[in-house]
């Protein structure tokens, strides 16, 4: 039986943090293997890349998610007790809650609300003024998702809640002060969510069944409502990632700036092109570098031995850029999505597999819909200038962003 290739050195955490998106694919190439062993945060970790590996990690007989995410992410990004750490029937049952809330009709409503907000904001931008797209998009999405979810947001709280929801994903991987800011933000948000869920439980559900009501009245496999803390975590599992779509919207604006041909195609009104463009933004630009799981029981894969409880990381960014799966993988080419609907294991910006069964993100429809609204709006309804600024990508941050957060000047609404 061959040994799994190993990184030399005591621990590779610093190297990972310096370049989290390319860490796995670069070393996998170096070892000439889709799997290699390293140490991250002093823990033995198997790193995997590619479509075969993505299929493997979706096998619930071989992997579990309980205790797979680092504690620091549980205390910030995910929260404790949420769907991300569940396995088997408990996972499937809880996941059905998300799939039931995020139906096509409900996503459509969310997208329409976001368009209204973009138009309202654009009316307030004056000639000569500069706006920072990422900051604006975060706020628009915070207002939109709160309205959609049925979680009322007082005007005076908009900035604070936007910052708090964003802190959960912006500072999740940070060390020091920012990490503690994200923890404090989570405590505030969970308290706020609990204060909304409690009275909602006491009231009769409305016929529309807002996402807040769905979560408040959800019953687990034993027919019991979620405890208040877990219900709050799940409500934030809708709000936080919706605000995070602002990262992809900022990358969409960057792509339009860098590829004027794409801008022209979007302006032509071709709706299939909007879909292709948005998918290529999700493939091409970085967001989450990897997802984690733990080996359930010892097994062999491709001749390699995987030991029970070992931590495993699957490379999302590298798989989306794998030249065995994607022609001209490092070129931005929306046309690649024209006729192709790539497999559930090749195109994995939001995780691999079937979202009903595996841990794949239930919010892909939301991301695509909100990005499509924003891309159409930027390309067809606005005129703007892009002043000189540093648009280089912060590859050592998670999530990465254009360093300037994309400044636009003299933004005018035209239609």
CA distance linking residue 290 with residue 81, whole number of Å: 21
Please provide the size of the chain in residues: 415
Torsional sign, CA 96, 98, 101, 104: negative
C-alpha dihedral, 352 to 148 to 406 to 168, nearest 10°:
-60
- Cβ-based nearer residue to ligand HEM, 265 or 292: 292
- Cβ-based nearer residue to ligand HEM, 60 or 241: 241
Give the shortest CB-64-to-ligand HEM separation in angstroms.
12
- Cβ-based nearer residue to ligand HEM, 48 or 238: 238
- Helices within 210-270 (DSSP H only): 211-217, 228-258, 260-267
CA distance linking residue 355 with residue 351, whole number of Å: 9
Give the shortest CB-149-to-ligand HEM separation in angstroms.
9
CA distance linking residue 199 with residue 150, whole number of Å: 13
Phi, psi torsion values for 405, nearest 5 degrees: 65, 15
- Cβ-based nearer residue to ligand HEM, 11 or 87: 87
CA distance linking residue 290 with residue 363, whole number of Å: 17
- Cβ-based nearer residue to ligand HEM, 352 or 402: 352
Give the shortest CB-78-to-ligand HEM separation in angstroms.
8
- Cβ-based nearer residue to ligand HEM, 73 or 411: 73
CA distance linking residue 195 with residue 189, whole number of Å: 10
CA distance linking residue 45 with residue 27, whole number of Å: 13
Among residues 141, 128, 79, the alpha carbon closest in space to that of 412 is found at 128
Give the shortest CB-358-to-ligand HEM separation in angstroms.
6
Give the shortest CB-364-to-ligand HEM separation in angstroms.
7
Give the shortest CB-6-to-ligand HEM separation in angstroms.
25
- Cβ-based nearer residue to ligand HEM, 238 or 411: 238
Give the shortest CB-43-to-ligand HEM separation in angstroms.
18
- Cβ-based nearer residue to ligand HEM, 211 or 334: 211
Strand-by-strand arrangement of the 130-132 sheet:
130-132, 407-413, 382-385
Give the shortest CB-304-to-ligand HEM separation in angstroms.
21
Instruction: Report whether 57 contacts 352 (CB < 8 A).
Output: yes
202: exposed, middle or buried (Cβ count in 10 Å: 0-12, 13-18, 19+) = exposed
Give the shortest CB-291-to-ligand HEM separation in angstroms.
4
- Cβ-based nearer residue to ligand HEM, 20 or 363: 363
Position closest to ligand HEM via CB: 363
Give me the long-range contacts of 390-395 (CB less than 8 A, separation at least 24). Answer: 391/254, 391/257, 393/285, 393/286, 395/19, 395/20, 395/21, 395/22, 395/286
- The site for ligand HEM (CB under 6 A) is made up of 83-84, 95, 98, 102, 237-238, 241-242, 244-245, 247-248, 287-288, 291, 349-352, 359-363, 366-367
- For residue 129, give every residue at least 6 positions away whose Cβ sits within 8 Å of its Cβ, in sequence order, or none: 409, 410, 411
Phi, psi torsion values for 48, nearest 5 degrees: -125, 145
């Amino acid at each position: 039986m061959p040994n799994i290739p190993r990184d030399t050195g005591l621990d590779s955490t610093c190297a990972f943090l310096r370049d989290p998106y390319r860490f796995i694919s670069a070393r996998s190439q170096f070892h000439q293997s889709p799997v290699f062993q390293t140490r991250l945060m002093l823990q033995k970790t198997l790193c995997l890349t590619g479509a075969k590996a993505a299929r493997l990690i979706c096998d619930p007989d071989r992997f579990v998610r309980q205790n797979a995410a680092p504690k620091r992410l549980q205390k910030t990004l995910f929260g404790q007790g949420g769907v991300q750490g569940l396995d088997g029937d408990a996972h499937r049952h809880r996941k059905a809650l998300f799939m039931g809330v995020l139906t096509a009709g409900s996503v459509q409503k969310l997208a329409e609300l976001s368009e209204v907000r973009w138009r309202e904001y654009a009316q307030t931008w004056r000639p000569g003024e500069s706006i920072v797209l990422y900051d604006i998009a975060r706020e628009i999405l915070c207002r939109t998702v709160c309205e959609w979810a049925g979680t009322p947001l007082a005007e005076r709280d908009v900035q604070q809640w936007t910052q708090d929801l964003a802190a959960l994903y912006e500072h999740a991987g940070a060390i020091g002060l920012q990490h503690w800011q994200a923890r404090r933000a989570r405590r505030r948000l969970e308290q706020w969510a609990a204060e909304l869920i409690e009275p909602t439980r006491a009231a009769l559900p409305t016929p529309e069944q807002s996402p807040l009501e769905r979560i408040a009245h959800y019953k687990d496999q034993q027919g019991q409502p979620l405890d208040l803390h877990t219900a709050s975590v799940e409500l934030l599992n809708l709000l936080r990632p919706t605000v995070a779509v602002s990262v992809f919207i900022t990358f969409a604006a960057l792509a339009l700036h860098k590829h004027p041909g794409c801008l022209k195609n979007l302006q032509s009104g071709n709706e299939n092109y909007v879909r292709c463009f948005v998918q290529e933004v999700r493939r091409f630009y970085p967001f989450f570098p990897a997802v984690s799981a733990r080996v359930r029981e010892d097994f062999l894969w491709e001749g390699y031995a995987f030991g029970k409880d070992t931590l495993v990381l699957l490379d999302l960014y590298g798989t989306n850029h794998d030249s065995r799966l994607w022609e001209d993988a490092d070129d931005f080419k929306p046309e690649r999505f024209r006729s192709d609907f790539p497999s559930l294991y090749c195109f994995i910006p939001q995780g691999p597999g079937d979202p009903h069964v595996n841990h794949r993100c239930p919010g892909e429809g939301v991301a695509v819909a909100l990005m499509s609204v924003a891309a159409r709006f930027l390309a067809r309804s606005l005129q703007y200038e892009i002043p000189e600024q540093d648009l280089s990508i912060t590859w050592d941050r998670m999530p990465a962003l254009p360093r300037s957060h994309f400044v636009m000047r003299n933004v005018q609404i035209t239609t």
